[in-house]
Structure 1
Amino acid sequence: MPSILAVKSLSKTYDTGFQALKNVNLEIEKGEVFALLGPNGAGKTTLISIICGIVNMTSGSVTVAGHDILGDFRAARSMIGLVPQELTTDAFETVWATVSFSRGLFGKPKNPALIEKILKDLSLWEKKDSKIMTLSGGMKRRVLIAKALAHEPQILFLDEPTAGVDVELRREMWRVVERLKDTGVTIILTTHYIEEAEEMADRVGVISKGEIILVEEKSELMRKLGRKQLTLQLAEPLDTLPTGLNGHHLELAGDGRELVYTYDTQGERTGITALLQDLGEAGIRFRDLSTSQSSLEEIFVSLVRDNR
């Protein structure tokens, strides 16, 4: 299946000489949720702005379902919905009017039933006659999403969609994203909340200093780069590790009452088996054990740190 979005050799250098993007290549498949992660100033918003026709590229190409964003910009732009970081809604318009107007901007015929469904899905129906200026920050952000969905885009960009909103609204937006994915909409989100990517994304891309340094299936990324720890609650505390255990990645914790074994997520079953055998031979007994795995956030921080 051809990619719904293809970015090839994309670069952006501003008049000041700052190079925001450097030879970016990226392909997004139809119907997936793709999380683009990166620190402030990494180039996330610049990349989205170029794809959406807000910022001009310096070199390279972008196609949306085969439509070049420069040569066939009307067809390409009509397939894209954008939820920006900034709240840029008309304060004196009602919710219904501003969402309906956004649909009309793309030459779409009126569809009150669709607008009603969008507002209900976003818990905005009771506010449909309220002016934007009277809404809370979280409600205004929902209006931005409704405006982006009004013309029935095939690709939805969410640029920091839950910045500054409470946990309840954030989780509600996750559910909205899940419903959109079920209808076949492709979703690309940038976020500082790594838990959002961990919760929703099929694939993860990491951008740093204007370059894509990694694109990977989320599960595969965590399998490759994640670490696991096995923590043993010892029956009796230890002052030091017996020399017979030096071949294992072990450390004492909890005032000598815990033994922590660190290993990667590639497997290491034989390593754990050998460890338990060596513990038995050393006469070390344990009364409980638990495992933990590194989070996507820890992997992300490690990747960006290594790219500095």
Structure 2
Amino acid sequence: MKEETNRLEKLRMLFKLQQYIREFFTSQEFIDVQTPPIVQNPGMETHIHPFQIKSPHTKKDLNLYLHTSPEFHMKELLSLGFEKTFNLSYCFRDEPNAPHHRPQFLMLEWYRRDEFYTKIMTDIESLFNYCIKRFKTEGFKVREELQSYIPLKKTIQEVFQEILNIDILNYLEKDSLARLIRENFKQVPLPSEKEHDKLSWDDYYFLLFLNEVEPKLKKYPFILLYNFPKQLSALSTINKDDSRVCDRFEVYSFGVELCNCFNELTDLSQLKNRFSEQALLKKNLYDYQLPEPRDFYNTMETLPNSSGIALGVERLLMSITNIENPFFY
């Protein structure tokens, strides 16, 4: 009975959180939109793996996938003229169960047409505060550290300088970053030097970040990290004032990444180049390829300047309430 009651309470908090999120965005005149979960291309990120659809009737693998994000279709809505949209639904990624990962999970995405991504920085801080307030007013227990906290904002350069005493923007070449880690951070588990050619700059960066920086972020209830090195631009724009960095931010809460935001890239030729690089890397690393995202290329031809963000809803619940396992399905 105790376990059933605990599950009931957790589910109530999860469902309430979704209600609070919808309240927040509809009050800001966003439109609550839905996108198809079965798609021709699920996303091009190298290290994100989709589920392919198989028909039990015909026994054939279909050239369709469960989406890993509603991003492509939400950008289509932007190109059609929608200005402020949000989507709250399940996404699917082929990865094992872990404290912060599940094959299916609730994702919140929202987009702003004709707005720079700094506007979404304001959104996420306001949403975080709103959800805390709503939980408290309805009698749910909120994490003690959130009763009084100061949201922080730092560049990636500042965080690396403060925690590791290095300027990461001085190591934007793969060889120099690998050398830095091998000489100064011997505790970071690296592949042998013989495998150096198999790793990208991104791989070295994340090995350093995840082992030496991210653990130090656990003390922060809310910290927004922005101005990522240009190699991590993905589908974001390069900063117009400093070409070494891109217009991207992430928010961490008690050491857990909550969300990832881009000022959206709208240059089709640049996007095709980045997708080609990611597809080649996925083929080399994981030995499979995804269909070319032709429909998305058509969307990109008319995509306006915009910004967008993806947030893990179960992670947000865990951050606010400190429950150990926020996943239920």
Task: Give the structure with higher Rg (CA).
Answer: 1
Provide TM-score, normalisation by structure 1: 0.28
Which has the larger helix fraction?
A: 2
Provide TM-score, normalisation by structure 2: 0.26
